Amino acid sequence: MARDRFSEADHGTAPGCASPVDHLSRSQLHRLMDAFRCWNESAPTPYVRKVRGRYWLAFLMLRFTGARIGEILGVDDSTHIDFTQNEIRIVARTRSSGRNPARIIPVPPEVISGVSRYRSEFPRMRGRVFTLDPGNFRREFYRRAEDAYLPRELSHPHILRHSRAVELLQAGVPLITVQQLLGHTLSSTTAIYLQCPGVAAKKILDEKGLL
């Protein structure tokens, strides 16, 4: 499979509004997810499936929460997941005050059901599904990114945070909502992820009846 066959639409931008922040395009996200899924599903033994399953679930959490890697690896699957509402409670320590502000992030039901199935298959892992070593996770991420033919500069876990932010904003999710989901203190930080050129701005205003 040649790398250059993926050059089209792989620049991390979408029609209308572009982002000045590096992020994965939709096709790149699909390829990365497929690479992680295939790796997980090809586990040859129950033990390897137990190991790989944790990386797969951590990847899904990063992909659909936009959280930082340290926040996801700090999730306690016994207390931080609402299996009924399909929500994740993310706790982040602020450097300035030492407080632990929490935010609730809804995720696709498939993510939560995946955690539930894993815990049913490996009950002894309950409460520590996400307690992975950050360095080990990054190494596996790099390998899966290579399998997905991603550029090296985009092959790091934090790219999923950027990608989710851009995905939400380009889908029309209000800035304040994205700010809350990402845990940004200032809306100006969130706004960095998206810039709309004049043509796109005119189209948006026209659709909202403001022109």
Cα–Cα dist 21/193, whole Å: 6
pLDDT of residue 102: 87
Is the separation of the CB atoms in 58 and 132 below 8 Å?
A: yes
* CA dihedral for 163, 165, 170, 172, sign (positive or negative): positive
The CATH code belonging to domain 25-155 is 1.10.443.10
In tens digits, what is the pLDDT along the chain, a chain of 211 residues? 334 334 434 444 444 455 667 899 999 999 999 999 999 999 999 999 999 999 999 999 999 999 999 999 999 999 999 999 999 999 876 555 455 578 999 999 999 999 999 999 999 999 999 999 999 999 999 999 999 999 999 999 999 999 998 888 888 888 888 888 988 776 666 766 666 544 455 565 566 676 5
Residue 184 Cα distances to 74, 98, 179, angstroms:
18, 16, 5
pLDDT of residue 18: 59
Residue 65 Cα distances to 11, 69, 147, 183, 199, angstroms:
22, 10, 23, 11, 30
Is the separation of the CB atoms in 76 and 29 below 8 Å?
A: no
